[in-house]
Structure formats: structure tokens, C-alpha cells
Amino acid sequence: MPSSIIAGVGHYVPSNVVTNKDLTKLMDTTDEWIIERTGIRERRYAHRTEETTTTMGIEASKIAIKNAGLKNEDIDFIIFATLSPDYYFPGCGVLLQRALKMQEIGALDVRNQCSGFIYAMSIADQFIKTGMYKNILVVGSEKHSFGLDFTTRGRNISVIFGDGAGAVVVQATEEKGRGILSTHLHSDGESAELLAMYNPGTHANHWTDVKYADFNNAELADMFMSHAMIDKAQNFPFMDGQAVFKKAVVKFPEVIMEALGKNKLKKEDINLLITHQANLRISQFVQKTLGLSDDKVYNNIDRYGNTTAASIPIALSEAFQSGKIIEGDIVCMAAFGSGFTWGSLIMKW
């Protein structure tokens, strides 16, 4: 059975740096609060009109494909993870396929928010192991700056998120003992509404006073996105930060230990841990729980904020570029977020 290695990795972040101080001009917040509670000092925001989730994903993909020593036509499947797609539908995968003039290959979008990249990697791994594909492009990209509430009302969310993209080429190898050792995926929908963007959506909350017989286009449009929804800020994401935090600090170590246990590895065997960059306090809590030294953990949330599905591949790309990962290293990745969904991946590089 083939194994999945990461043959190439790349990332792209917009050039526009937005500091905490910049945000204080828009809302009641401070540089001190943001650093103390999240560890974030600055983030990147994509160009309003010239950059999209797909265009950033394309830039990251070009680097990953080049680093793998491949051409666009060598890719035989695309998996694109994002919560901030260019269009409501179709997904970003096909836009990337078109832009990179790839063959008429399959393109799948994954909507698992913060754990999207881990889910996407797990899917890629299964396709490689069954022998169906040889080179799969996995992308995580987000343009959060497009849909955040930049008033004081939305400050608990808007200060956290940033834009960017990362990509990897997952490749089949017959070499034994290398590549992805296992992936572990979980969900608990009990708290689905605690970190969510409800609209536009088909949920019933705003249907109660409308009878089927009364339907007309104006009413339907109103249910999709009404002025009332916008007035109540229901077009922005909602997050109960403390509830997410409390669950995250339990599930991160749990799913990392699950990956280690499955492969009969010990915490000390990890050469590099890359967790989804949700909040520096969460990452530090996980590091402490596992007893890992600073050189075994990679964090970049101070520079990019939380880039959701893009955060792990951006960190992976930076860590690889700076020589923090070498062949034979045990690299563990883990994510937790909206859903709640969480997961881990462990590999021998």
C-alpha cells in the first residue's frame, strides 16, 4: 500500500500588515488586551478587490507545486479547505483548477473551518493509500477581513482573525515507514451554534412567521439576507470565546495523545508540533500539558493572527523553509474549532 508524503509546501500572505494599534482606530480595544489575551501583534488583510481566498490559494499552490518539482498538469486531485469562499457556490477548488489550467481533475471543497486542513489531509491520505491518486494538491486559504464586524460589537472576533493561504502537495511513495502515519478526526455538534455564521442559511430561526402559501420572491430574499439580519449583525460570525477556549484546551492534547498512542510513540518522539493557531494561550497550554520544549513547537500567531484553515499549512511552510523540519522528523499537526470539529495528523517527514 502506498504512503503519503508531503512533497512540496508553500504559503502566501498579503503584503498589507494590520497592527493592533490600527484596530484601535476602529473599535474600543487596546494593543495590550489583544497581546495578553491572544498573543497576536499583527495580521495581514488581503486587498479588498484584487485578492480573494482563491487567488491567495493559487499563490501558495504555485510554490508548493514548484517545490515538489512538479508541473500543474501533474496534479491529479484538488482539495480546498476554507470557510470564506469566493462564492457561496461553486467552491474555490474549481476556481483554482481553472486559474492554474489544470487537467479536468476532481476538485473538492472542505468546509470544516479551523480543522479543515487536517480533514483535507486525511481525505488526501485515503486517496493515496487506495492508489487512486499520486499527487494531490491540498490548500487552506481564508479571506476573513471581508466579513468581520469592525465595530466594538464584534471586537472579540475581529481582532483575532487574519488572511492568508498555505498549500501542500501530498504524494504517493512506496518507501516504507515514511509519510503520514495516521490521521484522527472528531466532531461534537452539540455546540455547533457557539462558533458559527448563521446567515445566509436555511435554518428555521427566521421562518417562523412566514407560511409556505405566502411565499414570494421578496419574502424569500428577506429570509436569505434581510435588513433586520444586518441591523442585528447576524451577517457576521458569532463566537462564545470562553466556551471554545475551554473545550479546545481539552481536545487538543487528547487528539495529539490519540495520534501518538496509535503509533506507539511517546511525547518525546515529537520533533515538531504545529497546532492550529487559534490563540497563543491555547497553544501554550497544549505545549505545557504535553511537556514540550519551545524548540518542538511552532507558533506564528503573533504575526498572522488566526487564519483558520490556512494556519497549519502557513506554519508548516514557514517551519520547513526555516529548516525546522528535516527528513525523518516526527511532525504532529492538530486543530480544533467550529462544529466543534477537531483532529490530528502525525507523520514521519
Contact 102, 72 (CB under 8 A): yes
**Nearest distance from residue 155's CB to ligand UT7, in Å?**
4
Return the C-alpha torsion angle 18, 20, 23, 24, nearest 10: -150
d(CA 345, CA 258): 10
161 secondary structure, DSSP code: B
Stretch that binds ligand UT7, among 32-40, 71-79, 297-305, 314-322 (CB under 6 A): 32-40
Residues involved in catalysis: 114, 276, 306
Site for ligand UT7 contains 299 (CB under 6 A): no
Q: No. of H helices and E strands in the chain?
A: 12, 13
Q: How far is CA 105 from CA 97, 167, 168, 171, in A?
A: 8, 17, 17, 16
Site for ligand UT7 contains 37 (CB under 6 A): yes
Among positions 16, 29, 187, 191, the unique one binding ligand UT7 when judged by CB under 6 A: 29
Among positions 2, 26, 33, 196, the unique one binding ligand UT7 when judged by CB under 6 A: 33
Q: Are strands 330-337 and 272-275 parallel, antiparallel or unpaired?
A: parallel
**Nearest distance from residue 10's CB to ligand UT7, in Å?**
22
- 99-118 residues in contact with ligand UT7 (CB under 6 A) are 114
Residue 131 has a CB neighbour count (10 Å cut-off) of: 10
**Nearest distance from residue 127's CB to ligand UT7, in Å?**
27
**Nearest distance from residue 283's CB to ligand UT7, in Å?**
10
d(CA 164, CA 59): 10
- 149-208 residues in contact with ligand UT7 (CB under 6 A) are 155-156, 159, 195
d(CA 75, CA 103): 8
Give 171 or 279: the residue with its C-beta nearer to ligand UT7: 279
Give 30 or 205: the residue with its C-beta nearer to ligand UT7: 30
d(CA 16, CA 6): 29
Q: Comparing C-alpha atoms, which of 91, 106, 114, 97 is closest to residue 282?
A: 114
Stretch that binds ligand UT7, among 128-136, 213-221, 224-232, 274-282 (CB under 6 A): 274-282
d(CA 231, CA 233): 5
- Find where cell 468546509 sits: 111
> Which residue of the chain is nearest ligand UT7 when measured via CB?
241
Residue 180 has a CB neighbour count (10 Å cut-off) of: 23
* Number of residues engaging ligand UT7 in binding (CB under 6 A): 20
| Bridge partners of residue 297, in order along the sequence | 273
- 58-87 residues in contact with ligand UT7 (CB under 6 A) are none
Give 64 or 195: the residue with its C-beta nearer to ligand UT7: 195
**Nearest distance from residue 36's CB to ligand UT7, in Å?**
8
Among positions 135, 171, 279, 283, the unique one binding ligand UT7 when judged by CB under 6 A: 279
- 312-341 residues in contact with ligand UT7 (CB under 6 A) are 337
Sheet of 106-110, strand order: 3-12, 164-173, 135-142, 77-81, 106-110
Among positions 100, 248, 334, 347, the unique one binding ligand UT7 when judged by CB under 6 A: 248
Please give the residue ranges that form the binding site for ligand UT7 (CB under 6 A). 29, 33-34, 37-38, 114, 155-156, 159, 195, 241-242, 244-245, 248, 278-279, 282, 306, 337
